[in-house]
Amino acid sequence: MSAPNFDARFDRQVRFAALGAAGQARLEQASVLVVGCGALGGSLALQLVRSGVGHVRLVDRDVVELTNLPRQVLFEERHIGRPKALAAQETLARIGGPSRVEALAEHVDADNLAELARGAQLLLDGTDNLATRYLINDFCVERGLPWIYGGVVGAAGLVLPIVPQLGPCLRCVFPEPPPPGALPTCDTAGVILPAVAAIAALQCAAALRLVATPRERWSEIEPHLIELDVWRLESRVLSAARDPECPCCGAREFPYLDASGEGLAISLCGRNTVQVRPGGGARAAADLPALAARLEASGFELVLADGVLRFSAEGKRFTVFRDARALIEGLEDPARARALYDRFLGS
């Protein structure tokens, strides 16, 4: 069999004048990091590989579950129980093309992000929690690297391309993350595939434009915060400006990057229980009544008493305290406990 003709493979893509042959060549030389390869991250990785991005590094700490399959496009029933990063790599390998896909089944934190992002020109947000997003923002602002924020819950989502020093960072727009439990999550409010696909498409389009555009012309890309609801068929494009008083890109304070991940999830000896604390390097407080109301509305049975919220999910028992600390009974794996914490208490 003769070698594939990549020029022919990307013929229609190159015919798009804004990209052209020069832009396609830049894509094939590019290296990007996708943090998380579940719903958003999997769709992002699929589009990047089909577009011919040269090196796509996937990082995800979780395993495939049955409930992932309706919206996480890289997985099949046979992947259940496998690390998401490795299952995603297997699916993407069947596409062929010039992309080299690297998969790492790891938890991303302040201690390893620099190594995970080594050589990457761009970071893409496929995560499911705000602590990691604020960490990525700190890292990219400190290093001067662009990244694309994206988030989806229910039928709606947000996208914001972030180019340090040329536009706002995440903290210019959202100065502080809300406390744990303050926002709905996919596990409490649900999520549908069309919303995931739409937000991932906008993220990927912004990524391709950044990678295909010479750095000296990045100032021509006007930053916008895009809000989309696919159920209501509504969208808004909001101007986003740098905040000169921003603690991150203005004062260059990086609390999320400076906070070590050590100790955030600790297996309690002999108890089949993991204690999980919120990340971010700052003290947190959980709004337990609001969290209880959201969980109860989603069908969870719970008890809120004496400043402690108790409920069960995924066969595990959660005990959540006012300081946003949680004990998760029924497992000993800190990484798995961290993932469950983010799914049911994070955002």
- The verdict on 13 and 31 lying in the same domain is yes
What pLDDT, on a 0 to 100 scale, did the predictor assign at position 93? 97
Looking at the DSSP bridge assignments, the partners of residue 279 are: none
How many separate helices (H) and strands (E) can be counted in the chain? 13, 14
Residue 123 lies in a domain: yes
For residue 1, tell me if it sits in a domain. no
Please indicate, yes or no, whether residues 98 and 143 belong to a single structural domain of this protein: yes
Does any domain span residue 227? yes
Between the alpha carbon of residue 308 and those of residues 80, 108, 272, 292, 341, the distances in Å are 33, 29, 20, 10, 15
pLDDT of residue 282: 47
Rg (C-alpha) for the chain, rounded Å, is 20
Q: 100-104 and 147-153 as β-strands: parallel, antiparallel, unpaired?
A: unpaired
Does 316 map to a domain? yes
Residue 251 falls within a domain, yes or no?
yes
The list of the chain residues with pLDDT below 50 reads 1, 281-282
pLDDT of residue 188: 79
Asked whether residue 17 is assigned to any structural domain, the reply reads yes
pLDDT at res. 269: 60
C-alpha torsion angle, residues 113, 192, 313, 305 (rounded to 10): 90
Question: What CATH code is carried by the domain that includes residue 85?
Answer: 3.40.50.720
Is residue 143 assigned to a domain? Answer: yes
- My answer on whether 139 and 194 are in the same domain is yes
CATH code where residue 292 lies: 3.30.310
pTM for the structure as a whole:
0.83
Phi, psi of 160 (to 5 degrees): -145, 110
224 and 193 housed in the same domain: yes
Residue 101 shares a structural domain with residue 63 = yes
Claim to verify: residue 271 and residue 316 sit in the same structural domain: yes
Does the active-site annotation cover 269?
A: no
Q: How many domains does the chain have?
A: 2
Residues 295 and 165 placed together within one structural domain of the fold:
no
Q: Are residues 214 and 307 in the same domain?
A: no
First to last CA, the chain: 48
Whether residue 199 sits in one domain with residue 114: yes
- The pLDDT of residue 94 is 97
Domain that holds residue 271: 263-344
Domain end position, chosen among 218, 233, 255: 255
Last residue of a domain, one of 234, 255, 276: 255
Query: Catalytic pick from 186, 204, 246, 248?
Result: 186
Q: Do 274 and 238 share a structural domain? A: no
User: Residue 94, Cβ neighbours under 10 Å: how many?
Assistant: 6
- Strand extents, DSSP E, the chain: 31-35, 55-59, 100-104, 122-125, 147-153, 156-162, 224-229, 234-239, 265-268, 273-276, 302-305, 308-313, 316-321, 326-329
Question: For 11-52, how does the pLDDT look when each residue is reduced to its tens digit (9 = 90+)?
Answer: 999 999 999 999 999 999 999 999 999 999 999 999 999 999
Per-residue pLDDT tens over the stretch 239-269? 899 999 999 999 999 999 987 665 678 776 6
Same domain, 81 and 208: yes
The DSSP letter of residue 320 is: E
**Which residue type sits at 283?**
R
